[in-house]
Each structure stands twice: as structure tokens, then as C-alpha cells.
């Protein structure tokens, strides 16, 4: 372990920025520059840090500390009072300039445009790192990968992809084109095609998209399909569930093998509170179904197309709730004649 305590002075950062934050708290590839620096120093064996900044930035700074590091944040007065005891005999190195690790070097910068130029260099470094570990990035120029992201070997990353936060992608996946994945766990063999996925967990061999939106809090089981123009939110799906197109499922617990027909929604919000829908295993949900929670649909049930479900459905039952069709012979012809269109 390096016998060094690094002290970073954010109070010395007086460069003009767009949002008023210190340069070391600006983002480079979705990750604060300070986080980049902390990770680089930790990899070199340094484990003791002190950041001097205004109190309004204490929370943002604390979020950048590595879990394994001994780190503290305080004002200039706190630093001058406590640093000797905090450093515990380590050599104190003071950092008064904003800097970003590029390759094996720490390069300083003084403006946001300078940071943008450095970001391009680290963007290329990240792409090269993943390519060297068996990831196929087809076009690094149009791919943006957060330094916190982990990608398994054999995965293909297609153009226009943005991977953010603490995302972990398994092996032999296909991500993109034009996909956004943030703070997610994606299982082996899964596909995310032209879709956005946030703060959720996808199992193995899941197919998402195109044009799907997975909002936070979702758990999608192995072999599921979340298809075109489907939106899900705070919902859990068992293995093999399928939502092929034009469906919204929010605040729901869904069993394995469930099939959702086109145009199905859960009416989870009553204007005041959110309510949860529970669907058992191997349920068939017909097209244009409205599920109005709180409601439970038992295993093996069948919901006829066009039904609005407001009461619990027993296992293996048929639920049907729609008006009976009536045909009026000759009505269309008479209407055309009335308007002179015959």
C-alpha cells in the first residue's frame, strides 16, 4: 500500500463552468471526474484521501469515494485542523488543479472545453480496453461507455449505444444499435435493440425491442421478450413471459409463460395512488385488455380480447367483459345514400 494521503482542493477550482460546479465534479462519460481520479489512484495502491470543498458539494464528493478507501471531506478549516491526525504519518500530496487520468498519466485541465477534449481520449481508451477483453465494438466513434460498466466476452456493441452507470452486461449479448442501458444487470445471450433500459435486471436470453422502454425497478426473467413499443415499470416477469408489441405493464408481478396481446395495459394509477396487478403463470391475456388493479389473475386463466378486468380471475377461468356484437344489415348502404355517396 502506497504510504501517501492525497488531498484534493476543489476550493481552488475557480474556472468558469456551465453549472457552477467545480471542474472535478463535472462529468466525463457520465461519471464525475473526481470518480475517475479516485479509481486511478486506488488502482495504484493509494487508499487515503481528503477532499477540501464547500459544504454544498460534500454529498456529491462522498459519492465518488471508492468503497475500500479511507476517505474524508471537509472545509479548509477542517483540513488545517485535522489533516495531521487523519494522514497518520503518510506523506501528504496536495492536488490544486483539476485533472483526469488518460492512459497511465494524470493530465490537468482548466476549462470545460479542455475536459471535452480529454474525454475523447479516455473514450477511446475505454473502447480499446473492452475490445482487448473480447468485446466486439463495431464503431467506437459512435459508442459511449461509462468507466464503471462491465461487459462480458463475446458481446457485440452496435453503433449508437450508450452504456451508463454501474451496468453489468453478460457474455454473448447484442446491445444496440441506438440503445441506452443505465445501472442494469443484463444476463448472458440477451439482446437490447434500439431501446432504453434503466435500473433493472434482465435475465439470460432476454430480447428487448425495438423501441421498448424498460423503466426502473423491473426484473425480466430468462427467455422473456419485451417487444416493439412496449413499456414496463416496476414490474417483475417470470421466465418466458412475452410482451410482443404495444403494451404497458406497470406495478405488476407476472408469472412465467404469460403472453400479453397487443394493446394491453395495467391501469395502475387511480389519480391518487399506484396499485399492483398480480398475474399467475401461463396466463393468456388477449389483445386490448385493461387490467384495473388491485386485481389478481390466477394460473392458467384466459382473458378474452377487449376485456376490462376489475375483479379477480380464478385459475383456469375465462374472463370476458365486453358488449355483445350486433350487426345491422344494410345500415352502411343507407348511410352512404343519405350523404349522396352511393
Q: Supply the residues annotated as catalytic.
A: 245
Instruction: Give the residue among 245, 212, 242 at the shortest CA–CA distance from 225.
Output: 242
- Name the residue with cell 452486461: 169
298: Cβ contacts below 8 Å, ≥ 6 apart: 280, 283, 312, 313, 314, 315, 316, 317
CB 176 within 8 A of CB 195: no
Planar angle of CA 40, 41, 42, nearest 5 degrees: 90
Three-class secondary structure assignment of 14-27: CCCCCCCCCHHHCE
Distance of CA 62 to the CA centre of its chain: 22
Q: Is the peptide bond before 294 cis (omega within 30 degrees of 0)?
A: yes
Residues 297 and 144: their CA atoms lie apart, in Å, by 42
Cis-peptide into 177, omega within 30 deg: yes
Alpha-carbon gap, residue 184 to 197, rounded angstroms: 7
Does residue 200 contact residue 224 with C-beta atoms inside 8 Å? Answer: no
Q: How far apart are the first and last CA of the chain?
A: 91
Amino acid at each position: 500500500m502506497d504510504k501517501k494521503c492525497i488531498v484534493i482542493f476543489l476550493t481552488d477550482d475557480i474556472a468558469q463552468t456551465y453549472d457552477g460546479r467545480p471542474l472535478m465534479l463535472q462529468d466525463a462519460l457520465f461519471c464525475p471526474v473526481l470518480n475517475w481520479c479516485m479509481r486511478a489512484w486506488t488502482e495504484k495502491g493509494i487508499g487515503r484521501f481528503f477532499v477540501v470543498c464547500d459544504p454544498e458539494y460534500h454529498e456529491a464528493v462522498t459519492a465518488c469515494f471508492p468503497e475500500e478507501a479511507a476517505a474524508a471531506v471537509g472545509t479548509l478549516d477542517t483540513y488545517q485542523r485535522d489533516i495531521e491526525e487523519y494522514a497518520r504519518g503518510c506523506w501528504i500530496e496536495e492536488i490544486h488543479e483539476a485533472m483526469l487520468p488518460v492512459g497511465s498519466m494524470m493530465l490537468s485541465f482548466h476549462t470545460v472545453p479542455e475536459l471535452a477534449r480529454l474525454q475523447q481520449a479516455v473514450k477511446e481508451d475505454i473502447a480499446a480496453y473492452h475490445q482487448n477483453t473480447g468485446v466486439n465494438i463495431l464503431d467506437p466513434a459512435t459508442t459511449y461507455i461509462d468507466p464503471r460498466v462491465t461487459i462480458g466476452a463475446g458481446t457485440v456493441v452496435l453503433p449508437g449505444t450508450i452504456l451508463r452507470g454501474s451496468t453489468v452486461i453478460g457474455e454473448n449479448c447484442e446491445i444496440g444499435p441506438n440503445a441506452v442501458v443505465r445501472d442494469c444487470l443484463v444476463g448472458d445471450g440477451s439482446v437490447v435493440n434500439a431501446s432504453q433500459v434503466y435500473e433493472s435486471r434482465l435475465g439470460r436470453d432476454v430480447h428487448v425491442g425495438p423501441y421498448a422502454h424498460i423503466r426502473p425497478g423491473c426484473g425480466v426473467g430468462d427467455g422473456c421478450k419485451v417487444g416493439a413499443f412496449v413499456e414496463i415499470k416496476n414490474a417483475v416477469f417470470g421466465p418466458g413471459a412475452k410482451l410482443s408489441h404495444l403494451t404497458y405493464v406497470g406495478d405488476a408481478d407476472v408469472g412465467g409463460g404469460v403472453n400479453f396481446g397487443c394493446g394491453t395495459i395495467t391501469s395502475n394509477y387511480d389519480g391518487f395512488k399506484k396499485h399492483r396487478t398480480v398475474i399467475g403463470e401461463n396466463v393468456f391475456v388477449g389483445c386490448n385488455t385493461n387490467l384495473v388493479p388491485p386485481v389478481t389473475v390466477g394460473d392458467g386463466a384466459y382473458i378474452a380480447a377487449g376485456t376490462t378486468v376489475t375483479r379477480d380471475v380464478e385459475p383456469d377461468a375465462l374472463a370476458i367483459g365486453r358488449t355483445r356484437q350486433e350487426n345491422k344489415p344494410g345500415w352502411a348502404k343507407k348511410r352512404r345514400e343519405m350523404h349522396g355517396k352511393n
